[in-house]
Amino acid sequence: MTKSELIEQIAIRQPELSAKEVEAAVKIILEDITHSLSSGGRVEIRGFGSFSLHFREPRTGRNPKTGDPVDLQGKFVPHFKPGKELREQVNASRALGY
């Protein structure tokens, strides 16, 4: 499922909102999550999961073309940990043959 399909599906379930409004809402939700993470925060969605930052230590990488060593700085990467409900539902779907 893509973002536009997600918007369509939500619009079907939310008849009081127009597709345009759902689209704007999805954009805000994703931007809020991104903004929270990029300012070092966490996001906790009960029943779904949590987003946080993981730190990658500085390391020496290589230029793939020349093979020269390059010093890479430490950096933060986004991390998602599925919540209990999502984990259980997804795993249960295996047994149902999906």
Partner 1 sequence: MGALTKADLAEHLHAELGFSKREAKSMVEAFFEEIRSCLRENEQVKLSGFGNFDLRDKRERPGRNPKTGEEIPISARRVVTFRPGQKLKARVEDFDDADVIH
Site for partner 1 in 17-46 (CB under 8 A): 17, 21-22, 24-26, 28-30, 32-34, 36-46
**Conformation bin of residue 97: beta by default, left when phi > 0, alpha when psi is -120 to 50:** left
Binding map of partner 1 across residues 72-91, x = CB under 8 A, - = no contact: ---xxxxxx-x--xxx-xxx
Spatial neighbors of 29 by CB under 8 A, at least 6 apart, are: none
**Pair 55, 76: CB distance under 8 Å:** yes
Judged by CB under 8 A, the number of residues near partner 1 is 56
Site for partner 1 in 55-74 (CB under 8 A): 55
The nearest distance, CB 59 to partner 1, in angstroms, is: 14
Q: Which of 64, 70, 37 is nearest to 52 (CA)?
A: 37
**Pair 41, 25: CB distance under 8 Å:** no
Tell me which residues touch partner 1 (CB under 8 A): 1-3, 6, 9-10, 13-14, 16-17, 21-22, 24-26, 28-30, 32-34, 36-51, 53, 55, 75-80, 82, 85-87, 89-94, 98
